[in-house]
Amino acid sequence: MNNYPKLHNATWPGLVGKGPDSEPPISFDDMLKMTASADVDGAKFDGVDLGLMDPHISIDGSDDDIKRLADKVSGYGLEIGSLVAPIWGNPAMGTAAERAQFVEMVRKACHFGQRLRELGVRPGGVVRIDSSSSPQDWDADPAGNTKLIAQTFREACDVAADYGEKLAAEGEICWGGMQSWRTMIDTLEAVDRPNMGFQADMSHTLLYTMGYNREQDRILPENYDWQDRAVLTDALKTLTAALRPWTIDFHVAQNDGTVFGSGSHDKTGRHCQALDPNGKLDVANDAGYWLRDENGVLTKAFRHICWDGCMFPNAVMTNPQTWNDILATMLKVRDLHGWRE
């Protein structure tokens, strides 16, 4: 049986979309417990990807706090992979002070990453970022704002390099300069740093093919019939051929072809449950367009993959069957597109 890529669960769905105008957050400890408890015929999750955000994890935690974090996660038999830097509120195309704070948040996240590697609990992974800017604000000056975002990202990359970290920009329709596959590539090319790459989420990138927030970059035809699988396959091949060379982090996810937002999170691609009958993706098959090259050869571009299930209702997230279904889906992806070491 394949044992790579390692299978991770994300902890930040316990926070994203939760809050005062939504449901209460789910604690970090509960996210760890539910991840560690999932079991499919003896198979388990290998690790977690972490959002460095309150109330789960304080980005201002001391080295002793980081050691306690490492001990807590490893105590569940889990490793740590990719980290999310809490850059929101500091737009990458904002004022000089905002952009400086963006870079400082990345620096703090990279320190976390370096220490966790040194402690032996984090064998790999990236630090995830986005532009923290709306598509509407970006549209006011696309060329100028892309230039500003790229400048901020370059500064963040230079800081990350000092810690031995790579940065991955998450392609999501709610972020300016990243709201379509073409704007994402334009931004990545403008950054031009060897430690800058793309974080592909199957839910978000499906919305790329539909032209949400950037109609001129639509790949699927307007009023596309979802029963015509061949057209979707061609669209996914076009999308992944363009972005796969940049991809250094990967989220397995499902999407029903709609957008959704709750709590403090802007509208973005709806993450569906793994077995949602309305899901538009054949998750195990379609993950292969990201994990294999155009000739079907495994890229092995990352050594773990992660499930991202943001903005599920708490009743869904606290149901053990939810996590077993997710783990079973992840295992199918690895069976089809993994390898053994």
Q: pTM here?
A: 0.95
Instruction: Please report which residue ranges of the chain form alpha helices under DSSP H.
Output: 28-37, 63-75, 96-118, 135-139, 142-162, 181-191, 202-210, 229-243, 283-286, 288-291, 314-317, 320-337
CB 308 within 8 A of CB 271: yes
Distances in whole angstroms, Cα of residue 197 to Cα of each of 5, 35, 261, 329: 18, 27, 26, 26
Q: Within the chain, what is the greatest distance between any pair of CA atoms? A: 55
The confidence score (pLDDT) of residue 96 equals 97
Phi and psi angles of residue 260, each rounded to the nearest 5 degrees, phi first? -155, 150
Q: What is the dihedral of CA 126, 131, 132, 138, to 10 degrees?
A: -170
The upper half-sphere exposure of residue 257, i.e. CA atoms within 13 Å in the direction of its Cβ, equals: 15
Task: Provide the pLDDT for residue 19.
Answer: 85
pLDDT tens for the chain, 341 residues: list them: 999 999 999 999 999 888 887 899 999 999 999 999 999 999 999 999 999 999 999 999 999 999 999 999 999 999 999 999 999 999 999 999 999 999 999 999 999 999 999 999 999 999 999 999 999 999 999 999 999 999 999 999 999 999 999 999 999 998 999 999 999 999 999 999 999 999 999 999 999 999 988 999 999 999 999 999 999 999 999 999 999 999 999 999 999 988 765 544 556 666 789 999 999 999 999 999 999 999 999 999 999 999 988 788 999 999 999 999 999 999 999 999 999 99
Listed in sequence order, the residues at least 6 apart from 61 whose beta carbon sits closer than 8 Å to its beta carbon are 69, 112
pLDDT at 267: 62
Structure tokens given for 190: 């403008």
CA angle 93, 21, 250 (to 5 degrees): 50
| CA gap 238, 203 in Å, rounded | 16
Q: Which pLDDT score, from 0 to 100, does residue 266 have?
A: 53
Residues 121/139, Cβ–Cβ less than 8 Å? no
Q: Give pLDDT, residue 126.
A: 98
Name the residue with tokens 């077995």: 275
Q: Which DSSP string corresponds to 20-49?
A: TTSPPPPPHHHHHHHHHH--BTTB---EEE
Close Cβ partners of 117 (under 8 Å, ≥ 6 residues apart): 123, 164
Residue 337 confidence (pLDDT):
98
Burial 208-230 (b: 16+ CB within 10 A, else e): bbbbbbbeebbbbeeebeeeeee
Do 45 and 322 touch, CB atoms closer than 8 A? no
- The candidate with the shortest Cα–Cα distance to 239, out of 271, 267, 202, is 202
